[in-house]
Structure 1
Amino acid sequence: MSKFNNEMSFRFLWIGQMLANLGDVLYTVSLTTMVYKVTKSVTFMSFVPFVITITALISGVLAPLIIDKYKLKSILFYSQFGKTIFLFALCLLALHIRTEFLWLLYLLIAFISFLDGWASPARNALVPSLIKEEKLIKANSFLAISDQITQLIAWPIGSLLLVLWGGPIILWFTFTFFVISSILMFLITNQTVSEKREKTSKLVAIKEGWQIIWNSKQLRTISVMNVIETLANGVWVAAILFIYVEQALHKTEVWWGFINAAFFGGMFIGGLLVYRYSQVLERRLGQTIMWSSLCLTTLTFLFGMTSLAWFALVVSFLYGLPQMARDVAEVTVIQKNAREELLAKVYSARGTLIYGSFGISSLVLGYITEHYGVQITFLVATTLFLISFLIALLNRRDLIYPVISKNTKGKVG
């Protein structure tokens, strides 16, 4: 019965997350274009992801306190339900959006993002409690494939609906998906992780995830790479890609969707390959992370320098392959490095690093795009990716052959 409950809960988890991701894409598409049409400013467009990431950063810092107090399933449900309520208010605001109401729009975005900062570590930490350890890579790749199928469908459809119907109607679609996702999160009924936790001070609770990352040379190296690559990944935010399609490719909004769909198509194929060769990846997690970084460096440069739309599509597709392999490898390394009861705290610490870096990146790269052009922005991103690869190369022994620590379940690499 426990096995059956875990299997059903896993289905509710991935279907609910898939619908939430679908809503998140449509939400991003509609908000980004609405802000641009009202302000005609790339900086104001970039402020959307900035608000999202900064509030998610604050949420990530406080997440360990919530994780100590509530079950992971409860965190997932209440965060998604809260996001649904705030999105409903955003839908009403979008009907009469004007420049003087932008502060309220950013405030609602901040509330949604704040709750999302609790959901992400809870979801990733819940997976190992529902899935046997030997099946973790397959489970992670399956969830990743589901995410990419959703993104693959959502970006072209979202951009097309944007042209046909406009942003406010798309937000109501997002609201529907959020409602269904909330129901599915509520239906998760079982987790094998013990809910008994030792009482600790608030400061200790916040520090636990950070200490695990710092004490593991492998996680420390990966985290430094994450920060640098997240600074580079700001080049892929919707606002900058919107300008890239307009200025570099000289195409319409529909191509904005095509570019994103090609990327997620590559992620989907990458997910299938990871799923098929999970046993090979299991033995080469560190190598996968290091060499994927070099591939991303090359592809970012090629994408940023081209003015050919078809070539941009091809490169965008290829970009998704190493990105998927790297993502699955990183998630699996983290799950294997920390005890299950502390896993959510590790994810919240990692999320704080990523959100903070991305918030800075979205503003800085948005400013560079507006004042120096989109190709300069991609050159900056390429340089950052190259630095990340060099760090991996210099620390390859720690990355590939990690030392077992008291928090490590087993040797991974």
Structure 2
Amino acid sequence: MLAYVFGVVLFALGICVSVALHEAGHMVTAKAFGMKVRRYFVGFGPKVFSFRRGETEYGVKWIPLGGFCDIAGMTALDEVTPEEAPRAMWRFKTWKRTVVMAAGSVTHFILGFIVLYLMATTMGLPNLTGTPKIASVSDCVRDARTDQEYVNPVCQPGDPAPAKQGGLLPGDQIVSVAGVSTPTWTDVTGRIQQLSGPVAVDVKRDGRTVPLTIDVVQVDRPVTDATNPQGPEKIVKVGSIGVTMLTNFTYNPITAFGGAGQFTADMFVQTWDRLLEFPERIPAVVHSIFGGQRDPNTPVSVVGASRIGGEAVEAGLWSLFLLLLASLNFFVGVFNLLPLLPLDGGHIAVTWYERVRDWVRGLRGKAAGGPVDYTKLSAITMVLVFLGGAVTLLTVTADIVNPIRLQ
């Protein structure tokens, strides 16, 4: 129990640090361009303490669920003093305002990469995309009518060893089976299970493609009966060659940069896919609140993420803890760039709308227009704030009454 509480607190602390650094990203870039930063606070609610250094007040508030960076004149509607007016943010060039507003998300991306790099150099990175790289080659392939027989086969003299006899080696990456490209391990197993006898298999080894011929063997395997998932497993004949997939990639401090970079790119793709799926998964969250089974792919709140982080620490799964923390940073970073107010991406969209509008007006011989009147967007902003609050309330409620658990 103590380990669980420690994990929850540690994950929540990680989120607080991420948010604080997000706001610090805005502050540092704004100061670098000469904008006036009035205040930089971590947390909300009553003030715990603060101090002033130069023209900026720094401080901490009691509720550690966010923070803010108060930049003078972020929009033309913001009140500024006569001394602040020349340095109001809205007066600066479009690209500078864009950099300042995007800096928060960029900070999340940098934090996510750092977490992945540290993982890569210490415990390795999980093979989340199912890259068909071989971890081990079995000494034999045998019939298995139970999961135990499948996991721990007792090899007998004369048993076939297709992969070993065909020349497959640990570290090889299977790129095609019988002329069909196999970008994932699922593609490899799905293809091999349908075959029998000599099969052409191409592997990538030391940067070059090596053609091999593997004699696929049909063997008995226990599988879940799709028509009766809760019943006993049924035995089917499938093709097998006797290899296992590499589940964890290891790196040295140099190669870890490339490994973490590739993993970051993969996580960006997955994050974008999750964002596109977000609206259609909300009904499942509502269903789980009223007693339905919680789908592990449904959105979670900070509360739910912290609980999972606590369970990961309790189970000793530090790689899962760190991966969850990196994933959250990527998600928040991408989500914050969506072109919707009051997100940073919404402010960036308005800024570039002004720039394109003035460019078009210039082509037509007209003077530049004034800053966008944000009051005309207030109705849309309030709707989005309401929807965001409703989704947050739903996910927090689901994470309290019916949380996603590791087991």
Same topology, TM > 0.5: no
TM-score (norm 2): 0.25
Q: Which has the higher contact order (CA 8 A, sep 6+)?
A: 1
Structure ranking higher in helix proportion: 1
Structure ranking higher in strand proportion: 2
TM-score (norm 1): 0.24
